[in-house]
Amino acid sequence: MSVRIYISRDSGALCVGAQEVAMQFFKLAEQKGLDIEIVRTGSRGMYWLEPLVEVARPEGRVGYGPVKPSDVEELIGAGMLDGKAHRLSLGLVEEIPFFKSQTRLTFKHCGIVDPRSLEDYKAHGGYKGLAKAIEIGPEATVEEVVNSGLRGRGGAGFPTGIKWRTVAATPQQQKYIVCNADEGDSGTFADRMIMEGDPFVLIEGMTIAGIAVGASYGYVYIRSEYPDAVEAMEIAVRAARAGGMLGKNIAGSKYDYDMEVRMGAGAYVCGEETSLLESLEGKRGEVRAKPPLPAHVGLFGKPTVINNVLSLASVPIIMIDGAEFYKNFGMGRSRGTMPIQLAGNIKHGGLYETAFGITLRALVDEVGGGTRTGRPVRAVQVGGPLGAYFPRELFDTPFDYEAFTAADGLIGHGGIVVFDDTVDMAKQARFAMEFCAIESCGKCTPCRIGSTRGVELVDKIVAGENREANLVVLEDLCHTMKLGSLCALGGFTPYPVMSALTHFPEDFGAKKKRLEAAE
Amino acid sequence: MPRYEPWNADRAGEIIARHRHEEGAALPILHELQATFGCVPEAAIPLMAEVLNLSRAELHGTVTFYHDFRKEPPGRRVLKLCRAESCQAMGSDALAARAEQKLGVEMGGTNTDRSVTLEAVYCLGLCHSSPAAMLDKHVYGMLDQDKLDRLIDEAQR
């Protein structure tokens, strides 16, 4: 009987050589006449173990990793196909503590299913959420999502169900579902993982959204920096259409829904929802003033549900297991699970899905295992380039929308970038302003001009030029940007800047200044 | 390995015509023009404007808004180095300086034999394995000096 082995085709695995490992298995299987079947899956999210090779055994999938092409022959010789031990043995993959301690809801099938096979997705329980939505009808579906407490996973944390209800209530005939897959935040890769590892769950979530609000067409807007995700989604959309799960009378129901993949063109600001809509319309990705909300006047002027990948990919499990089940996870007003992404200088880089409420300390020190360089952790940036820098003193902050707001930060899209003690926080603050200047759409003045003035101010402060006066100006500028910008790019850039300044004043020449004053 | 076609108005017209009935056709057209010619040639703008019933100024505004669209074809291969926070935390600034020095160009530039265009990119979504890079459409993670050197050698070959 042929032995089934699993090797990821997720770009996070490919970037450390998974393709070469797979090719080596193919080559040796042919040479040695081995009866093996290689399934290319997504990633489990344990990237420090990639390329991870899993062998199907009666007791579960047994893992080996990280595997180099030169290890393959030795692994086969050691009896890996029978699950035998080797120095690269990891045991049962689902028993690895990093994996076992998670609550995988949105990422339930990621790293397990073949992302190109509709049949495999269905065999793992896929499309049961859609069947439920068809059975209970649009209104009950919207209410199920409202009751689940699901909030936008893109960063803003707006209740997903309320968006849906607003669009459902509009009388227009033509409505749209738009999936925001413009995952530009440094430190985040969860959307990419879903699209590459379990694209059908996203298609299913978008289809349910279409039925729920009465939209018959949708777009996934994926950033151009993700060519593998674009390809994976295109293959999955074609497979879903061929299998009757997109198009007219989906799954034999009375509902029609179809969708297509669109690619961005390297503008970070297009992750902002109104800018994304402008871009989809073929224009400059300039932010729109709100109101009107996209739910009323969205894509091509029509009512539009625009949700993040993770929000939409969480819908099928909410439909299958129910709002009550989903709502039981989490704390306060942050319900369900959050796929948290551990990045930067971290030993165990990867995706960790867990209920809201876990502390930063547990995530960084325990789950993440500290820094990869082995040096002490000095700061973490949570929520991408617009997120605040947290010092160790704030590591008891629980992962929760409100707790982070209270600590002058944001959880954003759930990315955590770890820095060791070699980091220069003034440089990071300067970069935040510089990034805003590069990526500003230019529509509003605080962001367009403020970011450039911000870079100059940080330079002056670090150089000790009118330090005290310039600190006041920088703070005032941040205040103006925060309150006066049209969108989160200009509005949130003050978070990394002010947090760096507040928690790490010594990097901005504070001590030196004090010494000079004493002399 | 990308090989680009020389400018040809008929070929451009064909691409534009194929997408003209799509909603919001501008970006799909621009992407295909660039994949074909290596850039968005100035001469394509009036052709597009005519078919999409837009002003040239409006289209010029769109093309120049996006970092992806080029005015000139790039070198034979494009090496993108991530410069965002996660990669910064793992020493990407030093790698970027090394790449600039080895290729004798600044970010955004093409080396003298036009074998490589070096570009900065702000996140490739490989932050679990920083520092990261992309050579054409192939991704590389956990870069260090040696791996970067090999990548640059490969790109120049």
Is the pLDDT assigned to residue A128 strictly greater than 50? yes
In this complex, do A263 and B65 lie within 8 Å of one another by their Cβ atoms? no
Instruction: Indicate the residue of B62, B85, B129 with minimum beta-carbon distance to A385.
Output: B85
Is the pLDDT assigned to residue B119 strictly greater than 70? yes
Specify the 3-state DSSP secondary structure of A45. coil
- Domain ranges, ordered by start, for chain B: 9-65, 77-156
Residue A258 β-bridge partners? A217
- Domain ranges, ordered by start, for chain A: 3-99, 118-327, 330-420, 425-518
C-alpha–C-alpha distance, residues A519 and B17, integer Å: 74
Mean pLDDT of chain A: 96
Question: How far away is chain A from the Cα of B140, in angstroms, using its nearest Cα?
Answer: 4
When pLDDT is cut at 50, 70 and 90, the band that residue B2 belongs to is low
C-alpha–C-alpha distance, residues A332 and A357, integer Å: 9
Fold entry, domain A330-420 = Ubiquitin-like (UB roll) (3.10.20)
C-alpha–C-alpha distance, residues A85 and A78, integer Å: 7
Q: Max CA-CA distance within chain B?
A: 52
pLDDT in tens, A278-320: 999 999 999 999 999 999 999 999 999 999 999 999 999 999 9
Fold entry, domain A425-518 = de novo design (two linked rop proteins) (1.20.1440)
Q: Of A117-121, A472-476, A512-516, which range is least confident?
A: A512-516
In this complex, do A266 and B129 lie within 8 Å of one another by their Cβ atoms? no
Residue A517's pLDDT is 42
Instruction: Indicate the residue of A187, A268, A285 with minimum beta-carbon distance to B127.
Output: A187
Instruction: Indicate the residue of B23, B124, B129 with minimum beta-carbon distance to A16.
Output: B129
Residue A184's pLDDT is 95
pLDDT in tens, A65-76: 999 999 999 999
Specify the 3-state DSSP secondary structure of B92. helix
Query: Residues A94, A45: contact at Cβ < 8 Å?
Result: no
Is the pLDDT assigned to residue A146 strictly greater than 80? yes
The whole model's pTM is what?
Answer: 0.96
Residue B3's pLDDT is 80
In this complex, do A284 and B52 lie within 8 Å of one another by their Cβ atoms? no
**Torsion, CA A461, CA A465, CA A471, CA A474, rounded to 10:** -70
Residue A397's pLDDT is 96
Contacts of B129 in chain A (CB under 8 A): 12, 15-16, 47-48, 50, 349
Q: Whats the size of chain B, residue-wise?
A: 157
Residue A1's pLDDT is 73
Q: What is the mean pLDDT of residues B124-138?
A: 97
**Interface ipTM > 0.95:** yes
Residue A519's pLDDT is 37
Contacts of B30 in chain A (CB under 8 A): 265
Give the CA distances from residue A402 to residues A335, A434, A489, in Å, rounded to whole numbers and listed in that order: 12, 28, 20
Omega of the bond leading into A496 within 30 degrees of 0 (cis): no
Residue A515's pLDDT is 44
| Type of residue found at A22 | A
B104: left (phi over 0), alpha (psi -120 to 50) or beta: left
Buried b / exposed e over A49-76, threshold 16 CB at 10 Å, is bbbbbbbbeeeebbbbbbbebebbeebb
Q: Does B85 touch chain A (CB under 8 A)?
A: yes
Residue in A closest to B61 by C-alpha = A284
Site from B86, B119, B142 to mutate, A interface, most A CB atoms within 10 angstroms: B86
Residue A510's pLDDT is 80
Is the pLDDT assigned to residue B130 strictly greater than 90? yes
C-alpha–C-alpha distance, residues A107 and A111, integer Å: 8
C-alpha–C-alpha distance, residues A238 and A232, integer Å: 10
Q: CATH homologous superfamily of domain A118-327?
A: NADH-ubiquinone oxidoreductase 51kDa subunit (3.40.50.11540)
Q: CATH homologous superfamily of domain B77-156?
A: Glutaredoxin (3.40.30.10)
Residue A398 β-bridge partners? A359
Closest of A229, A217, A213 to residue A260, by C-alpha: A217
Size of interface A-B (CB pairs under 8 A): 152
Q: How far is CA A165 from the centre of its chain?
A: 25
Give the CA distances from residue B156 to residues A278, B2, B110, in Å, rounded to whole numbers and listed in that order: 38, 14, 11
Q: Of A202-206, B3-7, B58-62, which range is least confident?
A: B3-7
Fold entry, domain A3-99 = Glutaredoxin (3.40.30)
